[in-house]
């Protein structure tokens, strides 16, 4: 009898739904949506984006409404071989990007706060050629998972974090977005 009760309890704990667990961990007013291909952390109420004038935030709800969503790609759990191959490919790209910087002598162009400021036609031509080459190289980058969540790999991208750069009303929605993201990272061991 005790063995049967232990088995039921053990199996009940082992079969806990990670989506339900994550839903309990995200702030109130946020919903976790998961499919075989995507994980979405969504704020339940649309927010106003704050209008800006000359880079300054204006008071009021003058901007369009948006629904804050943090979207992640979901794939079957990556194997160590997949991770190793992706890292090797990305390491090769780092070397190729450095070679392109050297080829176009980018470091010889004066920069201001990390932004190249070409002073003549030759520098403009070199910078333009480098930017095209660098864009092609960055396009070959293999995006690796931010974490493993159960039997899945969770992959983020620049678009995942774009909503965190918005100025919204209510401002607390962004704080909650960061807390939702932290809950996901904690759930999959990336925190």
Query: What's the confidence (pLDDT) of residue 15?
Result: 42
Query: What's the confidence (pLDDT) of residue 9?
Result: 32
Contact indicator for 183, 30 with CB cutoff of 8 Å:
no
Give which of 176, 111, 184 is closest to 150, Cα–Cα. 184
User: What's the CA gap between 59 and 66, in Å, rounded?
Assistant: 17
User: What's the CA gap between 171 and 177, in Å, rounded?
Assistant: 10
Contact indicator for 177, 16 with CB cutoff of 8 Å:
no
Tally of CB atoms within 10 A around 100: 18
Tally of CB atoms within 10 A around 46: 13
Per-residue pLDDT of the chain (191 residues; tens, 9 = 90+): 333 332 333 333 344 688 999 999 999 999 999 998 999 999 999 998 875 555 555 555 567 889 999 999 999 999 999 999 999 999 999 999 999 999 999 999 999 988 899 999 999 999 999 999 999 999 999 999 999 988 999 999 889 999 999 888 888 999 999 999 999 999 988 76
Question: In sequence order, what are the beta bridge partners of 88?
Answer: none
pTM of the model: 0.74
Domain boundaries, the chain: 17-78+145-187, 80-139
User: What's the CA gap between 185 and 70, in Å, rounded?
Assistant: 13
- Burial status of residue 56 (CB atoms within 10 A of its CB: 0-12, 13-18, 19 or more): exposed
């Amino acid at each position: 009898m005790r063995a049967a009760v232990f088995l039921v309890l053990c199996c009940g704990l082992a079969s806990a739904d990670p989506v339900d667990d994550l839903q309990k961990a995200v702030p109130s007013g946020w919903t976790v949506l998961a499919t075989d291909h995507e994980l979405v952390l969504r704020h339940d109420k649309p927010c106003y984006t704050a209008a800006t004038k000359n880079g300054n935030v204006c008071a009021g709800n003058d901007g369009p409404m948006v629904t804050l969503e943090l979207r992640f790609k979901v794939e079957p759990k990556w194997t160590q071989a997949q991770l190793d191959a992706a890292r090797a490919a990305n390491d090769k790209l780092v070397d190729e990007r450095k070679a392109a910087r050297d080829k176009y002598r980018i470091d010889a162009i004066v920069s201001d706060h990390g932004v190249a400021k070409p002073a003549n036609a030759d520098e403009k031509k070199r910078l333009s050629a480098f930017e095209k080459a660098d864009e092609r190289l960055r396009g070959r980058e293999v995006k690796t998972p931010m974490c493993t969540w159960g039997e899945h790999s969770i992959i983020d991208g620049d678009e995942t974090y774009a909503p965190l750069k918005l100025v919204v009303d209510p401002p607390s929605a962004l704080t909650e977005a960061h807390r939702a993201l932290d809950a996901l990272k904690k759930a999959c061991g990336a925190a």
